[in-house]
Amino acid sequence: MNLRQGFWAALLVLAVTVLGAGRAGAGPGVSQEDLLQAQEKPDRWVHYGRNYGAWRYVPTDTINRENVALLAPQWIHQTGVLGGGFEVTALMFDEKLFITTPNSHLICVNARTGQTLWRYDHILPTVNLCCGPVNRGVAAHGNHVYWTTLDAHLMCFDADTGLQLWDRTVADYRESYALTSAPLIVKDLVITGVAGGEYGIRGFIDAYHVDTGERVWRFNTVPGEGEPGNETWEGDSWKTGGAPAWITGTYDPDQNVIFWGVGNPSPDFNGDVRKGDNLYSNAIVALNADTGALQWHFQATPHDIFDLDGASEAMVIDEYINGIDTKAVVQVNRNGFLYALNRTNGAFLYAKPYTKVTWAGFDENGKPYIKEEARKSGQYQVCPGIFGGKNWPPAAYSPKTHLIYLPDMERCATYIQMEVVFRRGLPYYGGAMVLEDPEDAEGYIKAVDVRTGEIQWTYQTPGGPNWGGMLATGGGLVFGGSPDGYLRAFDDETGTVLWEYYTGSGIFAPPTSFVLDGQQYIGIASGWGQPAEIVGISQTLGGSAYILFSLPDIFPPKKVQP
């Protein structure tokens, strides 16, 4: 560390700045009932995915098709953080919003005014990252919030004051492990998975006790010697097998089972050095919540050589599928297919393409295989490309319409396998990848009937491939952003645009909603933070702001306390 860096480090001191915590009421926090009944609690947003099933559906209808045109900003909070996409799902309870930013900053703001209550600025060492210095949010239990950092720490804070209560090192960042997702709270456990699949890590999912931070269990997403599934890795390739678990999982309280999507194997593009199906990469794993024991798994892309990462949220949904009332788990997979499985046993129900797919065919059990025509002159030319159809930005599900609303991108790629040697701390790709011309790339919002997997409506998003997450509401609306910087509201049945607002920067993050003093609010993090050429948009849009919207014509603005 040089003198200048040391000066700023001394000022920050890894400390919390308390800026008026009394302006939002100290409350009871988040109870077990709140977590279990989150769907029926309009005054709070306490899970990353809204409820344990990751529906991102709010039944409140105060903002609806008839009045959404009046929606306007109530406050805008500038984080002051530059660099990296702003990807947070902000939790809200006890009139406090918890916002996390790129480069490991945690900010608690007054939900009424947007004013900072406290802030924690984590000082990062130099870390190896594949895909930006991002963070997607916190988890809550009691009056505590739980947060992960890019140097692989899991931390617990007092929600009212920002006092750090404990700090656990989950993995060694010097071995290219990172943490980017919001944790999941199940009973008295805080659960998180690791990132770093492009650096030859060995992935895992961990559970820690909420009060002490002591580790309770670990599930290795790359099984070691003597563990079931290790035979799907040739030789010692499992030791650097990747399979990160970098998106927040879901939970079925009735079965006491956690569902977690697992990412790509390493090296990404060269499967010759890791022959076999490479479990549990690109799979949904169902784990006993108390012990971490594997109940079942379903691998969507065995022996992946295109980085068609399967980490997306596994939505817990009860629906009428294939003529039967079904307890399902549904995943919009990055490989281009929407999967429906029976969540009690992992049985395959269907796989339907939601985007342009050229690489795969299926056997009768839903196991895909690479089509021979995808290989040309020693290369693979496939759709979707490395970013997938839907990447990490989450979809939303409405039980009223039976539709899943998802962000989609159509951009193909050519893959070339190369020789590779593993070196700790260096990217472990095993090949090269060339994306389709940005001018040929497209982005969409699509509504898919979860009962059949059939697309019901499509909206093409300006600005190229769409990375904006989704929110559905009881007011007949779907909200979603896009790289052109607009947040839009759609009719949930037809896809008609009913309202839009330019936020000043491209949008990765999903919107959220809550009710305070009878008003319904819509919140969004706006901040692109990525070079335009990476994702194929027409311009680079910067900034990092959180914006809260409501209906000012109906509900008068609140007075800000001095």
Rounded CA gap, 74 and 435, in Å? Answer: 40
> Is the pLDDT at 46 greater than 70, yes or no?
yes
| Sign of the four-CA dihedral 169, 174, 177, 179 | positive
- What digits encode the pLDDT tens for the residues 521-535? 999 999 987 655 455
> Is the pLDDT at 191 greater than 60, yes or no?
yes
pLDDT of residue 23: 54
Q: Any bridge partners for residue 164, and if so which?
A: 157
Q: Any bridge partners for residue 96, and if so which?
A: 93, 110
The percentage of the chain sitting over the pLDDT mark of 70, rounded to a whole number, equals: 91
- What digits encode the pLDDT tens for the residues 467-502? 999 999 999 999 999 999 999 999 999 999 999 999
When mean pLDDT is compared over 423-432, 496-505, 539-548, the highest value belongs to 496-505
Q: What is the DSSP letter of 431?
A: E
Q: Are 537 and 105 in contact (CB under 8 A)?
A: no
Q: Are 522 and 71 in contact (CB under 8 A)?
A: yes
- What digits encode the pLDDT tens for the residues 140-190? 999 999 999 999 999 999 999 999 999 999 999 999 999 999 999 999 999
Strands 294-299 and 204-209: unpaired
Strands 294-299 and 283-288: antiparallel
Query: What are the φ and ψ backbone dihedral angles of 34, each rounded to 5 degrees?
Result: -60, -40
Of 299, 296, 200, 205, nearest to 248 by C-alpha is 205
pLDDT of residue 553: 61
Mean pLDDT of the region 206-227: 98
Instruction: Tell which wins on pLDDT, 47 or 426.
Output: 47
Instruction: Tell which wins on pLDDT, 340 or 366.
Output: 340
pLDDT of residue 19: 45
Of 374, 381, 404, 406, nearest to 391 by C-alpha is 406
| Res. 349 pLDDT band, cuts 50 70 90 | very high
Check 94, 206, 277, 307 and give the catalytic one. 307
| Res. 53 pLDDT band, cuts 50 70 90 | very high
The structure tokens 């933070």 sit at 529
The distance between the two most distant Cα atoms of the chain, rounded to a whole number of Å, is 69
Helix, strand, coil abundance in the chain, percent, nearest 5 = 10, 40, 50
pLDDT of residue 84: 86
Mean pLDDT of the region 448-461: 97
pLDDT of residue 535: 52
Residues written for the chain: 562
> Is the pLDDT at 13 greater than 50, yes or no?
no
Rounded CA gap, 156 and 140, in Å? Answer: 9
| Mean pLDDT (the chain, rounded) | 91
| For residue 552, cis peptide bond before it (omega within 30 degrees of 0) | no
Q: What is the SS3 assignment for 372?
A: helix
Rg, C-alpha atoms of the chain: 22
Instruction: Tell which wins on pLDDT, 204 or 441.
Output: 204
List C-alpha distances in Å: 65 to 34, 71, 261, 495. 29, 11, 34, 12
For residue 167, indicate whether it is catalytic. no
- What digits encode the pLDDT tens for the residues 508-521? 999 999 999 999 99
Question: How far, rounded to the nearest angstrom, does the alpha carbon of residue 164 sit from its chain's CA centroid?
Answer: 25
- Residue 131 Rama label (left phi>0; alpha psi -120 to 50; beta): alpha
pLDDT of residue 24: 62
Encoding tokens for residue 260? 């977690």
| Res. 131 pLDDT band, cuts 50 70 90 | confident
Residue 14: exposed, middle, or buried by beta-carbon count in 10 A (0-12, 13-18, 19+)? exposed
- What digits encode the pLDDT tens for the residues 226-284? 999 999 999 999 999 999 999 999 999 999 999 999 999 999 999 999 999 999 999 99
pLDDT of residue 531: 55
Q: Are 471 and 488 in contact (CB under 8 A)?
A: no
Of 510, 517, 562, nearest to 20 by C-alpha is 562
DSSP alpha helices (H): ranges in 214-266?
A: none
pLDDT of residue 121: 97
pLDDT of residue 559: 44
For the chain, domains (ranges, CATH) are 3-71+88-550 (2.140.10.10)
Rounded CA gap, 386 and 433, in Å? Answer: 8
